[in-house]
């Protein structure tokens, strides 16, 4: 059973479109995260939710809007996609809302904006 | 500003020998450190961690050493196996306060040759 799953695995779209990436975890964790790995390979946190509440919001454009319908899901919606949004997006979860708690990552979604 | 640095983008070792991956950090508030391993087309998976109250943590073939005064940590893998070939990310966190995020290095690609 996959612990943290993301869909889709690959997403190719045109500039200006709106797209969503879904994430689900079956670990019973309270906290979920979205990370972006850009072309320079840095993994940077974008958002974190604890019990459906936003607790981390890094400097991310307003075009990115996370939504957590319940503790097991954290979806990422992106409006008006730009070329620079091309990256691999990783979802993660942890039991507690603490940086010292082990985070479990999904397989990633490779987004390509043409 | 890179707070976690992995200055070697790649490392190649022979099977059976020791692999040493290095990581430096600049933020003295970090008190918890983790290593993640990542295979292509998969998400990072947790490998081993160390708290700043320790200077060494061992788990099977993997040992992490922490030198707080030098703000340096290293991951030793011995003996190295071809299946260890992957990208290794160093990550750091501050376990106190409201800083819940992991800060990642850029990763080091380890290749273990048979």
Q: Which chain B residues are within 8 Å of A41, Cβ to Cβ?
A: 106-107
pLDDT for B96 beyond 90: no
Structure confidence at residue A59 as a pLDDT band (50, 70, 90): confident
- Nearest by CB to B93, which of A48, A92, A99? A99
**3-class secondary structure, B83:** helix
What does the pLDDT read at residue B19? 98
Residues 6+ apart with CB under 8 A from A60: A46, A47
Structure confidence at residue A99 as a pLDDT band (50, 70, 90): low
CB contact under 8 A, A42 and B104: yes
Selected residue of B44, B53, B93 to mutate for chain A interface (largest A Cβ count, 10 A): B44
How distant is the alpha carbon of residue B60 from its chain centre? 15
Residues 6+ apart with CB under 8 A from B40: none
When pLDDT is averaged across residues A17-27 and rounded to a whole number, the result is 96
Q: What is the rounded CA–CA span in Å between residue B52 and residue B67?
A: 9
What distance in Å separates residue B33's CA from the closest CA in chain A? 8
What does the pLDDT read at residue B98? 58
């Amino acid at each position: 059973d996959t612990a943290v799953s993301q869909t889709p695995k690959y997403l190719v779209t045109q500039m200006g479109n709106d797209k969503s990436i879904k994430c689900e975890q079956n670990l019973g964790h309270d906290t979920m995260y979205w990370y972006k790995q850009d072309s320079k390979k840095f993994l940077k946190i974008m958002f974190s939710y604890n019990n459906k509440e936003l607790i981390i919001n890094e400097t991310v454009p307003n075009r990115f809007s996370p939504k957590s319908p319940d503790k097991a899901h954290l979806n990422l919606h992106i409006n008006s996609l730009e070329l620079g949004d091309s990256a691999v997006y990783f979802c993660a979860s942890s039991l507690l809302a603490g940086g010292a708690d082990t985070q479990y990552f999904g397989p990633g979604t490779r987004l390509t904006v043409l | 500003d890179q707070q976690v640095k992995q200055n070697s983008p790649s490392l190649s070792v022979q099977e059976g020998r020791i692999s040493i991956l290095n990581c430096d950090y600049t933020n003295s508030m970090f008190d918890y450190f983790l290593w993640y391993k990542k295979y292509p087309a998969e998400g990072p998976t947790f490998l081993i961690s160390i708290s700043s109250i320790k200077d060494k943590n061992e788990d099977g073939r993997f040992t992490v050493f922490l030198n707080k005064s030098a703000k340096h940590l290293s991951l030793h893998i011995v003996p190295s196996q071809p299946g260890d070939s992957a990208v290794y990310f160093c990550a750091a966190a501050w376990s106190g306060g409201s800083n819940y995020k992991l800060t990642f290095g850029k990763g080091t690609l380890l290749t273990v040759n048979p």
